Amino acid sequence: MRIDVNCFVGAYPFRRVPGTSPESVLRACDRVGIDQAWISHLPSVFWRDPGAGNAWLYETAKRQERFRPVPAIHPGLAGWAEAVEVAAREAAPAVRCDPIYYGVDPTGPELNALLSACAESGLPLMLAVRLEDARQRHPNDRAGELPPWIVRSLVRSHPAARLIITHADRGFVEEVHFGSTPEEAGRIWWDICWIWGPPEDHLELLLGTVGVERFLFGTGQPLRIPESTVAKLDLVNVTSDQRLLIESRNAETVSAMPSGSPR
């Protein structure tokens, strides 16, 4: 079983990117052996109301059993609390909020309220550090990148908060992980799409220092080539059990209903 927790569908607004349709994403999944993809609606990341793409996302996921929807929620807009309830009813594995793209204060009351609602509903909150390298970013994309201290602040804001951070590099992971308490670090998971493999071997180093149980298989497709994530795992020195954790078991753990959750 291989679960891609970081997958997008829908057109990228700043340039033509191939392979963004659901059918194209499925073909890419077939090509690299991905059994399940957690999908986000790419265009809505840049909309004034990111939640406007959720209805399409849910319908797309219902038509394809290999897709699981990760709806976008803007905590500064009306109806966000109901969107969290819908995500729980739809058995979403997580919800996403990208405050740097939305123009939301990452440490303000809106995002803290969303994090509390997610914690109480048993939903992990997904945030992306970046979607593209700064050298690739379109001049109209002025969002910048999520800084590490915000992740530390968020995980400390609620004792049951669980975070999935995507597109983080080695330095980001280390700054957050080693700047957090063991209990806090145990509620953060990282996808591996932005972590270097050989010859730098950043991924192998982090698996040894941070722990295999903290990492998830994520490709960032179609903005990134999914083969690169597979190649990193093929080249890293891990046991078959450790690879299974990264490819599926950790994702199943983070998306599972916590004990006592109202879901």
Per-residue pLDDT, 259:
37
User: Is the per-residue pLDDT at 159 higher than 70?
Assistant: yes
**Predicted pLDDT at 176:** 98
Is the pLDDT at 136 greater than 90, yes or no? no
pLDDT of residue 187: 97
Q: What percent of the chain has pLDDT over 90?
A: 86
Over residues 116-135, mean pLDDT: 89
Mean pLDDT confidence for 85-91: 96
SS3 at position 216: strand
Strand ordering across the sheet containing 215-216:
95-96, 125-128, 163-166, 188-191, 215-216
Distance CA 62, CA 90 (A): 10
Look at residue 144 in the predicted model and tell me its pLDDT. 74
Residue 12 has pLDDT above 60, yes or no: yes
The three-class DSSP label of residue 221 is: strand
Question: Is the model's pLDDT at 139 over the cut of 70?
Answer: no
Q: What is the mean pLDDT of the chain?
A: 92
pTM score of the predicted model: 0.94
State residue 13's pLDDT score: 87
pLDDT in tens, 163-183: 999 999 999 999 999 999 999
pLDDT at 133: 67
Examine the pLDDT at 225 and tell me if it is beyond 60.
Answer: yes
* Residue 123: closest CA among 132, 131, 114: 114
**Calpha distance 123→161 (Å, rounded):** 8
Q: Who wins on pLDDT, 219 or 263?
A: 219
Neighbours of 131 (CB within 10 A): 23
| Dist. CA 101–CA 45, nearest whole Å | 7
Residue 256: its pLDDT value, please? 76
Q: Is pLDDT above 80 for 11?
A: yes
pLDDT in tens, 186-198: 999 999 999 999 8
